[in-house]
Amino acid sequence: MILLYLTIFILSFFILAFASKRLVISLTKIAKFLGWKEFVVAFFTMALASSIPNLSIGISSALHKIPQLSLGDVIGGNIIDLTLVAALAVLISKNGLKSAGRTVQGSAIFVLLIAVLPLVLMIDGMISRIDGLVLILAFFIYVFWLFGKKERFRKVYNNNNNKFKSGHVFKNIFFLFSSLILLLLAAEGIVRSVTYFSSILSIPLALIGILIIGLGNALPELFFTIQAAKKGKGWMVIGNLMGSIIFLMTLVLGIVVLICPIEINDFSPFAIGRFFLIISAIFFLFFLRTGKKITKKEAWVLLSIYLIFVIAEILFY
């Protein structure tokens, strides 16, 4: 069994790398076809797809009356997106991660508020079904804001797209969905293999959710981000990161809570995660808004925050 799961783990990584590279190409062409900004296309397509593993784990944990696992997954996933994924994207890119657009700057404020919102709702020791509705409502408020003005999502492309519109649109849609399926299957393989190894090592459930499953579910956007950064698609990187955070903290967590409210009798497993989530969100927003980009020096700060978070979770759990 150990050899089988090890093979699945290694093979899944190769599939992730291939599928994410193909996905960047397809998303770029579809953005041109729709006349949408690459930020918006990545936000709704990649971020939604990468949230599906989190949602499946969330629903399963809620049905088994252990929604705390989903909460740990969401908190851990968001910390990873705000630190590790963002930092690697900046370090791989040539000139840092630019964020000069008004849409990105406005979205950054939403990201900070939404990242903190569940932490505020759990102060009373529970995230209730009413709280779940509040989280889902927050998502739709952002969507209405994004599509409220045409300049927030429309983009004029200079090159001629007639050939693409007539001959290649369905081909690229097929590549898009096939790449997404491969990404999700590969992520599932990694999560299952890592969970198997963690069970052998007797790692606690909450720690599995925050560190292992959170990292495993973040792999699709991590590989997608690396490929997008290599090709200089900074808008796709930011759209994917912000979309993942907003989807996880609103729709995914909201649906889980509607199925089974999260009662938190012991805050200690989540104390470190909550602290680092707030710190990560603040630093990410600060770096994004100062100089209108995240520099390589700032990327090392974000990466350091993630490493300190992992060490703290292991040492003080």
Phi, psi of 89 (to 5 degrees): -60, -45
pTM summary value: 0.73
Phi, psi of 93 (to 5 degrees): -70, 165
Look at residue 161 in the predicted model and tell me its pLDDT. 47
Q: Rounded mean pLDDT of the chain? A: 76
Helix (H, G, I), strand (E, B) or coil at 193: helix
- In the chain, the N- to C-terminal Cα span, in Å, equals 29
Q: Is residue 24 very low, low, confident or very high in pLDDT (cuts 50, 70, 90)?
A: low
**Which residues lie closer than 8 Å to 292 by C-beta, 6 or more apart?**
98, 99, 100, 105
Helix (H, G, I), strand (E, B) or coil at 295: coil
Look at residue 273 in the predicted model and tell me its pLDDT. 81
Q: 38-153+204-316 maps to which CATH number?
A: 1.20.1420.30
Spell out the domain ranges in the chain: 38-153+204-316
Look at residue 243 in the predicted model and tell me its pLDDT. 81
Counting DSSP H helices and E strands in the chain, the numbers are: 14, 4
Top-confidence residue, 237 or 38: 237
Q: Quick: pLDDT tens for 51-89.
A: 777 777 777 778 878 787 778 778 888 888 889 988 988
Structure tokens at 100: 């000069």
